[in-house]
Structure 1
Amino acid sequence: MSKQAERDRLVDLRRELHRHPEPAWREFYTTARIVEELERIGVDDLYVGPDAIAEDERMAVPDDDELEAWYEQAREEGADEEILQQLAGGYTGAVAVVEQGENPEDGPTVGLRVDIDGLLREESTDDDHEPVAEGFRSEHEGAMHACGHDAHATIGLGVIEAVKNSDFEGTLKVFFQPGEEMIAGGKSMAESDHLADVDYLLAAHVGLDHPTGEVVAGMDGFLAVSHFRAEFEGVPAHAGGRPNEGENAVQAMATAVQNLYAIARHEDGATRVNAGKVGGGTATNIVPEEAFVEGEVRGETTELKDYMKERAERVLESAAEMHGCEVEITTNGEAPSAESDDALVAIVGDVADESEGVEEVIERGELGGSEDATYLMRAVQRNGGKAAYVGVGTDHPGGHHTATFDVDEETLPIGIDVLAGAIAEIAAERP
């Protein structure tokens, strides 16, 4: 296949995935298409759904009705029925294993993590929005690929094919991870058995405020994060006739929100808190019996995140007690901080310098946000291996998570060349 024909095939696949965005644990169509491509490529071992993750470590799993609706949608859109059956219950994602060379068991095991989920937000309908103009806008109203994970999945598949056609010797594992946007899927893959023998791991992301042609060899600055939901339960009463008999859950929630922002910042580094979604009550003349707040805390390190989480939980519990209510606090997603290892950063940088389409290589960059690839990175590093997070620049008309976000498709071959080349070089050098 010519280089242009291969690029066109990758673009078509990326656009197909863009038309079918699916959020955490609902990536039924996406996973099915990835598995179909992996079977076409001919990977040595393929683990799908429950076999790809540690089932008990999933976070923010939707209820059964929600899962069933997305499952049926994928089936109606033509997803392979046999593959779908392996994903029932929201067990999405896959791990692909390729063994290469005369004696792959003598070589290292190199991993690549790419995320596959979309976001619950509406995509632009403007005529000048490229997916609209070219006919691949999201077909799932209220959901879109607003962060480039459609490109990530495509790059992951392209890397497998490139490695199979290279002089790589060893074992390659590619982790097609669900649920990153909710910080809900990384831990389940990190706690599976598939990371135990990984000597080196790369993770990658497009964009990150870097244009097409730039590559960041190692991203740092991950903020550890914890998402929470607090549900307050009070006592209802007639707001006009007997307000004194009620215990106001909305008052408890409002007190909690105010005091969350009063948590003292820490001298050791950056800390964050946000109450992003609140609600409660049923009518203007009823003392509210129920209320909730969904929010997050972050820290420059895992320890700083834990500091914020502990104090946030104290605030929530104290607000409930102050207003005579009960509160139930649930962790809906979580990820630690991480750092990219120098040895892998150096290899990625050297390979990127020689890769077609790369105009500038930046040794280190700051993410400034959170990413649950850190679970996988830390798992490999904890076992004595090395890990790095690579930024592949892409021009995009809107920022990440906006209605007009899109990926410059010239990024696809750049990402594949850099990552596949780095994987082969890492196996050869064993830094």
Structure 2
Amino acid sequence: MNEPIQDRLVTLRRSLHRHPEPAWREFATTARLVEEIRAIGVDELAVGPDAYDPADRMAVPDADLEPWLERARERGADEALLERMTGGNTGAVAVLDRGEGPAIGLRVDIDGLFIEESDDDDHDPAAEGFRSEIDGTMHACGHDAHMTWGLAVLEAIKASDFSGRLVVFFQPAEETSGGGCPMAKSEFAEGLDYLLAIHVGLDHPTGEVVAGIEKPLAMCHVDATIEGTSAHAGKAPNEGDNAMHAMGTAIENAYGIPRHADGMTRVNIGYAEAGSASNVIAERAHMEAEARGETTELMEYMKDRLERTVRSAARMHGCRADVEVVSESPRADSDPELQSLVSEVATGVDGIDRVLPAADFGASEDATFLMERVQRDGGLATYLIVGTDHPTSHHTPTFDVDEDSLAHGVDVLVETIRTLEHQHPVARNESER
């Protein structure tokens, strides 16, 4: 591991790609990141509960953590680190403190998805031997590239004469919107002048950079369980309270929630299960849904009405509903001043041939928690995109990245950080800190 990360971007990314771990189960991933960070040498390194308050986490699974912890142990992860991550407290924050200058945050996400990766011969990870080694789990959204960027930027800034404070958030549980909130509430987000968040691809080709996203959707994940009364479907159906029927009513009515005049709103029921046999009135049903809005307020409108719809449908059928908001994230737009600076920087980066000042995002991201925190405290934030030629869409079994974009991302981020160091366009009053 003495070889500089800059010289092994592809090797590092492929290594991370082979071992994806889903939200709050990133035990081996975090251990690998810590190993790399320690080799770089930083002024402060916080892991798991030292990086955030575990009580602020969202969408933490009730079970299924232990097999992932054991797998990390079998791969040789540091036992002291695994002990610290007990209960799914994954992720890390690395800090370089280099005297007077701006405080700059960089957020990268680290979790994988529950997707079985393709083993087709024309899928490069399969053909070149770095396909996921974990059945049913895959880095299908480029977080392996994001982690590589985070480590390489940390190394490059450490080796430079940078003056200021760099905080790199290796954030877990982005895919479930569970990890952004605790990191935004942590002490490491305090006093940041700038926040850079970054994503690869998103239908932007290799050589293209988007300096900042606009209109990310505020969103929430909602789980609902409906409890009824079972009965014999032939002999005494009148004695049952049909949880499946109640759920069906809830689903139909959810899609009938009135849209709002102030902007775009969405709702989706993505998963539903109920019942045990064809001759039994179902006594239990479970559904998983989401609501989104063009603004945080519009998301709240949809969330409130979704909850009310489910509870009303349950009562209509004599059942009870338990509705839980599992996670959520706000809307936060990139700041024009920072977008302009990133645009200027990216234009001069080798390999970048097109720079878009802004683009509508159209999806959701819990990096908005960190963006919102920095902006609320008087700083600037942007969420930039470094393009990559990906053969299929994100969240598909054949997703992959063009590895030429790895160097592009590092160069854009490093040059942006160094430019912020020298220009430092944020002017704050001490009372704002």
TM-score, normalization: structure 2?
0.96
What corresponds to 1:96 in structure 2?
Answer: 94
Q: Secondary structure at the match of 1:361?
A: strand
Q: Deviations over 1:40-89 (max 9, x none)?
A: 0001100001011221111111124x111100011112222222222111
Q: Are 2:198 and 1:204 aligned?
A: yes
Distance in structure 2 (CA, Å) of the matches to 1:18 and 1:410: 16
Distance in structure 2 (CA, Å) of the matches to 1:223 and 1:149: 20
Counterparts of residues 203-222 of structure 1 (less than 5 Å):
203-222=197-216
Q: Deviations over 1:305-353 (max 9, x none)?
A: 0010011111001000100000001112210001111111111111111
Counterparts of residues 20-35 of structure 1 (less than 5 Å):
20-35=19-34
Q: How large is the RMSD of aligned CA atoms in angstroms? A: 1.4
Which of these residues, 311, 314, 336, is aligned with residue 317 of structure 1? Answer: 311
What corresponds to 1:174 in structure 2?
Answer: 168
Which of these residues, 266, 270, 273, is aligned with residue 279 of structure 1? Answer: 273
Q: Deviations over 1:3-28 (max 9, x none)?
A: 9x755512111111101000100001
Q: Are 2:34 and 1:40 aligned?
A: no
What corresponds to 1:237 in structure 2?
Answer: 231
Distance in structure 1 (CA, Å) of the matches to 2:264 and 2:151: 36
TM-score, normalization: structure 1?
0.97
Q: Read off the aligned partner of 1:39 and give its amino acid letter.
A: R
Q: Read off the aligned partner of 1:16 and give its amino acid letter.
A: S
Q: Are 2:103 and 1:126 aligned?
A: no
Q: Secondary structure at the match of 1:266?
A: coil
Which of these residues, 110, 116, 137, is aligned with residue 116 of structure 1? Answer: 110
What corresponds to 2:76 in structure 1?
Answer: 78
Q: Is the 8 A contact 2:5 2:152 kept in 1?
A: no
What corresponds to 1:161 in structure 2?
Answer: 155
Counterparts of residues 290-369 of structure 1 (less than 5 Å):
290-369=284-363
What is the aligned length? 425
Q: Is the 8 A contact 1:166 1:424 kept in 2?
A: no
Q: Are 2:150 and 1:151 aligned?
A: no
Unpaired runs of 5+ residues, structure 1, are: none
Which of these residues, 388, 392, 402, is aligned with residue 408 of structure 1? Answer: 402
Q: Secondary structure at the match of 1:79?
A: coil
Q: Are 2:124 and 1:137 aligned?
A: no
What corresponds to 2:430 in structure 1?
Answer: none
Q: Secondary structure at the match of 2:68?
A: helix
Distance in structure 2 (CA, Å) of the matches to 1:8 and 1:77: 25
Q: Deviations over 1:235-257 (max 9, x none)?
A: 11111111111100001100000
Unpaired runs of 5+ residues, structure 2, are: 426-433
Q: Secondary structure at the match of 1:304?
A: helix
Q: Is the 8 A contact 1:202 1:388 kept in 2?
A: yes
What corresponds to 1:426 in structure 2?
Answer: 420
